Amino acid sequence: MSDEIKSTNPVVTAIVTGKAPQPARLMAARGLLPMPQEDLLETLVALEKSDDEEIANAARGTLYSQEPDSLLPIAEDKETAPSILEFLAIWSGAGRNIHEKLVLNSSTPDEAIAQLAAKSTEASVLEVIALNQQRLVRSPSIIDAILANPARTAESERRAKETRIEFFEKERGAQQIAEELRARGENAAAEFAESAESVGTEDGISIEDFLIIAKHIEVTDDDIDDSWLSLELIEEIYDESFEQRLANAERIIGETLMESGDQTPERVSLIRKIVVMKVKDRMKLAMKGDREARSILIRDSNRVVSTGVIQNPRISDQEVEAISAMRTISDDVLRMIGNNRAWARQYPIIHNLARNPRTPLPTVFTILPRIYTKDLKSLSQNRNVSEAVRRQALRLSSARSGN
């Protein structure tokens, strides 16, 4: 318990420090000295620990004779001496109302809350303790106390466990993974592990699953550029539920089977592991992953992830050519490909973009003047593209033919 004297009353100081004569200290222990209630309580709490058995017993008797309801204002007052708050936390006679006030009082020492969490038989008190995540993070012994208390509810247990996983087990696990990956020379994967939000969480992936994903990370933080992320896209990083991620994974698996027939158990398992990660981690993997990771994430329903693939410095022209023909990806991806000068100089890529019904019209109209005449004629008859594209292709081909 705290030995610091909070009261500025010189009588309290003299009694607590032992400078007051024995009769005065005994009178104080019996509650016979005229002083404000808070000064009296601080004095009694100190005297209860006295080496003088008579004084200690008298102080204890006076303390335990206090009417709990009269102590409610003291329990919730942030200016109350820490020693009083500590006493009220371990006093079983204080009752549920006082204990709840103590838990909500930011001045109550963490050590006192840990003791209360260990001894309280009130489920509601434990739930209020579990709500204060900041205090739990500051003092992990409170988490241990909640989880060891048989009076805990399912809700208080859930909150305590979530805090432990998020702030302690996850951090330790990520650090261990990073150290192991660095020992193997896999620095890019180690960087990813240290900042990942999905590793070791209940709605993310296990450490074992991440080690499998780590094999598909090949780009270091120094080699990626996230300046392309607009505020609008950043907001989408956090707008996704676990159920949506599961549905996204199943959709990608279905598209992969439909387009390439590649649905081996190993690939299906990898898709699920990757897409179950949170958006921020998938976006990073899109920019840092190898060809296989990119082929999965380019199909992601969240555009911040799919556009991240296009920003991957290892993406090849052959991959971009294949992506430009895909009809199940974000139009933002197709727009970014069309706006890239290097890719826009490659005819197979712009030809695919012109024929892709997902390509935004402004991008198509910019590309059409560079399309060969014979391909323009074919495009003007292509029912898969919009009528506006067909008309423009016809105008351009007719103009070149002198019609």
- Predicted pLDDT of residue 13: 87
Low-confidence spans in the chain with pLDDT less than 50: 1
Within 13 Å, how many C-alpha atoms sit on residue 16's CB side? Answer: 21
Beta bridge partners of 205: 199
Which residues sit opposite 80 in a β-bridge?
Answer: none
pLDDT at residue 321, as a whole number: 97
pLDDT tens digits for 133-185?
999 989 999 999 999 999 999 999 999 988 887 677 555 566 777 888 888 88
With residues binned 3-state (H G I as helix, E B as strand, rest as coil), the percentages for the chain, rounded to 5, are: 70, 0, 30
The answer to whether the beta carbons of residues 300 and 275 sit under 8 Å apart is yes
Q: From the CA atom positions of the chain, what is the Rg in Å?
A: 34
Is residue 344 within 8 Å of 334, Cβ to Cβ? no
pLDDT digits (tens, 9 = 90+) for 240-255: 788 889 999 999 998 8
Measured CA to CA in angstroms, residue 349 lies from 19, 147, 255, 298, 361 at distances of 91, 59, 21, 16, 16
Type of residue numbered 208: E
Distance CA 181, CA 174 (A): 10
Spell out the domain ranges in the chain. 80-85+104-185, 186-315, 329-403
**Per-residue pLDDT, 29:** 87
- What is the token pair recorded at 229? 């992320």
| 162: number of Cβ within 10 Å | 16
Q: What pLDDT does 126 receive?
A: 95
> Of 1, 25, 2, whose CA–CA distance to 13 is shortest?
25
Q: So what's the pLDDT on residue 298?
A: 96
pTM, entire model: 0.58
H/E stretch holding 400:
helix 387-401
